[in-house]
Structure 1
Amino acid sequence: MSVHKHVLSVTVRDQPGVLMRIAGLFARRGFNIESLSVAQSEIPGISRTTFTVSGEDATIEQVQKQLQKLIDVLKVIDHSEAKFVDRELMLIKVAVRSPEERVELRQVAQDFRARIVDVHRDALVFEVTGDEGKMDAFIEQMRPFGILELIRTGRVALTRSAADSKVTGRPTVKAA
């Protein structure tokens, strides 16, 4: 069996401890969560969690089945099974040593549709959004200039098909 990267979206009720139980399930299986993103969904009281993990397909399928059994989990989608759209956000601070470098950095940013969000005499901070490949390529372009700091959000993903998007049934949400 071969190891593949999987992007899993888990739709859950907003309840204390849900993320810990989900992450614990991955930990017990020996998976390293490569990326993690959690935020409110379009339904109040419901969040969507996106995990990127690598593993054998059969093992990931077992994890999905175990996730479905958790009480606050409403839906699990393995995006590797259908077409999907994914994005990340990255902030990256790059050293600027000369006016010529500043011009060159601005040109690279324009090529990647990156935004300059902070300007200092000796550094620029860029905001970049896109898929994993775009993030990696931008980082490689910035390395020669000197990356001072970098942070990336976890991947977020949605299936392209409307049929695969809906949370089945009307979820019950406890009032606060």
Structure 2
Amino acid sequence: MEEKKTFTISVYSENNVGLLNRISGIFLKRHINIESLNVSSSEIDHVSRFVIVIYATEDWTKRIVKQIEKQIEVIKAFYHTDEETIYQETALFKIESHLLFDERQIQNIIKESNSQIVTVSRNFFVISKSGRRNEIEELYDQLKPYGIMQFVRSARISVSKEEMQISTMLKQFQEQE
């Protein structure tokens, strides 16, 4: 039986209403949970990029990528393992202000985790941490005993280590028109 692992799927597409719904439906039909989803502009003008993280077998991932590419607005989809990508997430932690001054260990945690204080107010301060998911979870575990007022983590953003031929493909496509 094939081993499940984490895959990052990159989808380059036109930015059309309803595409996200159709793409998420592809995962729903196969009972595959989307672990992380980010949609943003890409390096190509007027082309959006979806970054979707799933935990599945490579066979299922290939099938899903083929189904995604059948969507009219999709230009090209790729999938990569964690070893083939450079990726990060960002998290914000909201904590009571008095702890910053009363608990010396909080300052040590911030420094040792390479986090940044984003803002300080009378009632709370906010820490920002960028890194791999396990680094963010480790910081969460260290701060939890002191009380976290609010916590939010972004979706994964990633770039592949190898060049993706999407720009070359688009140039060729535009030359054919």
Interval containing the TM-score (normalised by the shorter chain): 0.7 to 0.9
Structure with higher RCO (Cα < 8 A, 6+ apart): 1
1:66: how far off? 0.8
Letter in 1 for 2:32: F
What does the per-residue CA deviation read over 1:103-135, in whole Å, with 9 as the maximum and x for residues that have no partner?
A: 322221121221111213443211111111211
Distance 1:17 1:107, change over 3 A: same
Secondary structure of 1:169's counterpart equals: helix
Whole-Å separation in 2 of the counterparts to 1:111 and 1:8? 32
What is the match of residue 56 of structure 2? 55
Secondary structure of 1:158's counterpart equals: strand
Conservation of the 8 A alpha-carbon contact between 1:82 and 1:159: no
Confirm or deny that 1:39 pairs with 2:44.
no
- In the superposition, the TM-score normalised over structure 1's length comes to 0.87
What is the match of residue 142 of structure 1? 143
Aligned residue among 96, 100, 103 for 2:102: 100
1:49: how far off? 0.7
What is the match of residue 115 of structure 2? 114
Conservation of the 8 A alpha-carbon contact between 1:158 and 1:165: no
Secondary structure of 1:105's counterpart equals: helix
Conservation of the 8 A alpha-carbon contact between 2:38 and 2:157: yes
- Structure 1, unmatched stretches of 5+, are none
Bigger helix fraction = 2
Conservation of the 8 A alpha-carbon contact between 2:97 and 2:122: yes
Identical aligned pairs, as a percentage? Answer: 26
1:23: how far off? 1.0
What is the match of residue 26 of structure 1? 27
- In the superposition, the TM-score normalised over structure 2's length comes to 0.86
1:94: how far off? 2.2
1:96: how far off? 4.7
Conservation of the 8 A alpha-carbon contact between 2:7 and 2:82: no
Letter in 2 for 1:133: N
Confirm or deny that 1:166 pairs with 2:166.
yes
Whole-Å separation in 2 of the counterparts to 1:77 and 1:110? 37
Whole-Å separation in 2 of the counterparts to 1:115 and 1:82? 27
Whole-Å separation in 2 of the counterparts to 1:33 and 1:57? 15
**88-97 vs 55-64, which moves further:** 88-97
Letter in 2 for 1:53: I
Conservation of the 8 A alpha-carbon contact between 1:159 and 1:165: no
Secondary structure of 2:81's counterpart equals: helix
- Structure 2, unmatched stretches of 5+, are none
Distance 1:81 1:34, change over 3 A: closer
Secondary structure of 1:8's counterpart equals: strand
